[in-house]
Structure 1
Amino acid sequence: MLIVGLVLAGVAALIHVYIFYLESFAWTEKRTLATFGMTAQEAEVTKPLALNQGYYNLFLAIVTGVGIVLTATGSTAAGAALVLAGAGSMFAASLVLVISDPSKRGAALKQGLVPLLGVLALVIGLAA
């Protein structure tokens, strides 16, 4: 289960790298506007906030990735702590999204399901 948890956490990290790209580089593009349900005017106004939020997503992905590498190379305690912090924060952010705006439950599900599964599998794998 440990490997399953690391793979799922890795997929979650990749999803968050993609979210970073959308929020930090493609925020005003037509496809991103449709993805986030915004107008071009809304995107222009929120562009600085999205840039900052994008980097938060990137940093969560990096923490998770470093944790995966550490766990895979034998530093299980430190690595698992980083994976749990990174993926757990991804899941927690998805809860904030759905609680603050229930109409965004689809986005929250996309953002939070894989990290949650990764955390659960990792915890089960560590307990075994």
Structure 2
Amino acid sequence: MLVVGSVLAVLAALLHVFIFYLESAGWTGPQAARVFGNTPEQAESTREMAFNQGFYNFFLAVETVVGVIFLIAGSTGIGAALVLAGTGSMLAAATVLLVTSPDKRSAAVKQGAFPLLAVVFTVVGLLV
């Protein structure tokens, strides 16, 4: 189960690296406009905020991947703590988006699916 949780955690991290790219490097570009539904004016006026928010996503991804590395190396306690902190934070952010922005429910579900499954499989793996 820890292996499945680790794979799901890496997938969650990869998705958050992509979100980091969109928010930090590609915010004013056409791909981010399609994904987030921003006009060029909105993107320009929120550029600093998105840049900062992108780094939050990146740091959660890094934390999660480092946790998986510790799990692979046999340091289960440290690895699980980092994986659960990273994916749990991703899941919490997706939940906030789901609750506070009904028009973005689809994005919240996409953002939260891998972290939710990673948390479940990691916890079950620790208990078995």
TM-score by length of 1: 0.99
Deviation at 1:95, TM superposition (A): 0.6
Q: Using the alignment, how far apart are the partners of 1:31 and 1:89 within structure 2? A: 25
Q: Using the alignment, how far apart are the partners of 2:22 and 2:102 within structure 1? A: 22
Look up the match of 1:78: 78
Look up the match of 1:91: 91
Q: Count residues with an aligned counterpart.
A: 128
**Structure 2: which amino acid aligns with 1:61?**
A
TM-score by length of 2: 0.99
Q: Using the alignment, how far apart are the partners of 2:96 and 2:9 within structure 1? A: 19
1:4 aligns with 2:4: yes
1:127 aligns with 2:113: no
Look up the match of 2:18: 18
Structure 2 unpaired stretches of 5+: none
Flag as ranges the 4+ runs of structure 1 deviating above 6 A. none
1:52-67 alignment runs, 5 A limit = 52-67=52-67
- Maintained 8 Å contact 2:66/2:79: yes
Look up the match of 1:106: 106
**Structure 2: which amino acid aligns with 1:80?**
A
CA deviations 1:61-104 (Å, max 9, x no partner) are 00000000001101100110000000000000001111111110
Q: Using the alignment, how far apart are the partners of 1:15 and 1:35 within structure 2? A: 13
Look up the match of 1:33: 33
**Structure 1: which amino acid aligns with 2:92?**
A
Q: Using the alignment, how far apart are the partners of 1:5 and 1:34 within structure 2? A: 31
Structure 1 unpaired stretches of 5+: none
Q: Using the alignment, how far apart are the partners of 2:30 and 2:74 within structure 1? A: 44
Q: Using the alignment, how far apart are the partners of 1:68 and 1:30 within structure 2? A: 33
